[in-house]
């Protein structure tokens, strides 16, 4: 067994999943096992990947659609129990460059393991920045300015699109919150580690992936497509939990953000204004009562297998 598990969460995108697996198996000068975490797909994903399964490629079904948050929670628990040292998280539409993992491991060595998480540069299909995966750079990143020669910049938050974390960090900070379902689970998790926990995260600028989303628009409730509006009920609910954990400054930031988005809908929405505002306001209300618990791994369940990079 390798020391590194690539945890790939998938749901009804078997073609994208196959492309992701191909890229992972094609990594140069770095090896990882692949844990496919299927959120109970109905498109034949299980049958499609069966011929690929072996000691390096494993398949697990969550039993129901638990969303991205539930999938990563499930996958990280599996990786921890199996004894992996490093967890490399990504969606099924993530296409790593051939040296993406190698560059992450070089960053790991440059930092001597003293970091909370590492995040690759995520590009869209045309080579431009993938706006959905923009990391938040720490204002005082210049205090570690010497790390720029390694392509490392200190950050406060990142998404689960090529996100590397050590098992020891998971032991200390727990798993992503599965109740988030979608949206914000990765932001909460990375901020739990770097902002509230004080363990810095970094962009590994020499590690790159393509996030093959259909559109490169980021998230904006005022301008997003009608069929995606209901997803924002998770975004605003989850963000209230997140920023409430960061004290009064976090709450004020959240309220200011919601106020900005309210006026964006009023003045910029191209249709369905009432529906968009209803989702926003109801999500804020539900967020006030949202109190999920963070789960932590049980060291007794961890398999201490012999691993190698």
- The per-residue pLDDT for 306 is 44
- For 100-120, write each residue's pLDDT tens digit: 999 999 999 999 999 999 999
Separation CA 148–CA 151 (nearest Å): 5
Contact predicate 66/185, CB 8 Å = no
Separation CA 16–CA 289 (nearest Å): 37
- The per-residue pLDDT for 305 is 54
Domain coordinates in residue numbering, the chain:
4-217, 226-287
Q: Tell me 2's DSSP state.
A: B
- For 229-273, write each residue's pLDDT tens digit: 999 999 999 999 999 999 999 999 999 999 999 999 999 998 999
Separation CA 52–CA 58 (nearest Å): 9
Element at 305 (helix H, strand E)? none
- For 42-88, write each residue's pLDDT tens digit: 999 999 999 999 999 999 999 999 999 999 999 999 999 999 999 99
CATH for 4-217 is: 3.90.550.60
Residue 236: C-alpha distances to residues 50, 173, 240, 261, 299 (Å): 38, 23, 6, 10, 34
Place of tokens 């961890």: 302
Separation CA 224–CA 237 (nearest Å): 18
Which residues, 6+ apart, have CB-to-CB distance to 32 below 8 Å?
A: 2, 4, 5, 6, 24, 88, 101
Going by pLDDT thresholds of 50, 70 and 90, the confidence category of residue 301 is: confident
Contact predicate 38/62, CB 8 Å = yes
- For 163-194, write each residue's pLDDT tens digit: 999 999 999 999 999 999 999 999 999 999 99
> Judging by beta carbons within 10 Å of its beta carbon (0-12, 13-18, 19+), is residue 54 exposed, middle or buried?
exposed
Which residues, 6+ apart, have CB-to-CB distance to 120 below 8 Å?
A: 96, 100, 103, 104, 161, 162, 163, 203, 204, 207, 208, 209
Contact predicate 304/83, CB 8 Å = yes
pTM comes to: 0.96
- For 237-249, write each residue's pLDDT tens digit: 999 999 999 999 9
Q: Which residues are 204's β-sheet partners? A: 120, 152
Q: What is the CA radius of gyration of the chain?
A: 19
Which residues, 6+ apart, have CB-to-CB distance to 137 below 8 Å?
A: 153, 154, 155, 156, 203
């Amino acid at each position: 067994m390798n020391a590194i598990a690539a945890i790939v969460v998938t749901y009804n995108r078997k073609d994208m999943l196959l492309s992701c697996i191909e890229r992972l198996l094609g990594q140069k000068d770095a090896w990882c096992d692949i844990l496919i975490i299927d959120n109970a797909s109905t498109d034949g994903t299980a049958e499609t990947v069966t011929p690929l399964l072996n000691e390096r490629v494993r398949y697990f079904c969550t039993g129901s659609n638990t969303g991205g948050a539930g999938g990563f929670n499930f996958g990280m628990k599996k990786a921890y129990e199996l004894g992996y040292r490093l967890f490399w998280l990504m969606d099924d539409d993530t296409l790593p460059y051939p040296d993406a993992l190698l560059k992450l491991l070089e960053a790991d060595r440059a930092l001597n393991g003293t970091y909370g998480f590492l995040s690759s540069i995520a590009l869209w299909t045309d080579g431009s920045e993938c706006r959905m995966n923009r990391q938040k750079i720490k204002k005082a990143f210049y205090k570690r300015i010497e790390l720029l020669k390694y392509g490392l910049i200190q950050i406060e938050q990142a998404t689960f699109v090529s996100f590397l974390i050590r098992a020891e960090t998971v032991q200390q900070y727990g798993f992503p919150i599965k109740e988030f379902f979608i949206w914000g689970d990765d932001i909460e998790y990375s901020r739990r580690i770097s902002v509230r926990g004080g363990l810095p995260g970094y962009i590994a600028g020499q590690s790159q992936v393509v996030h093959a989303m259909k559109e490169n628009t980021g998230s904006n409730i005022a301008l997003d497509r009608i069929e995606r509006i209901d997803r924002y009920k998770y975004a605003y609910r989850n963000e209230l939990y997140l920023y409430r954990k960061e004290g009064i400054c976090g709450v004020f930031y959240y309220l200011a953000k919601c106020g900005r988005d309210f006026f964006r809908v009023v003045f910029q929405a191209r249709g369905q204004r009432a529906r968009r505002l209803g989702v926003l306001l109801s999500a804020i209300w539900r967020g006030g009562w949202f109190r999920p618990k963070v789960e932590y791994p049980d060291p007794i369940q961890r398999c201490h297998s012999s691993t190698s990079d």
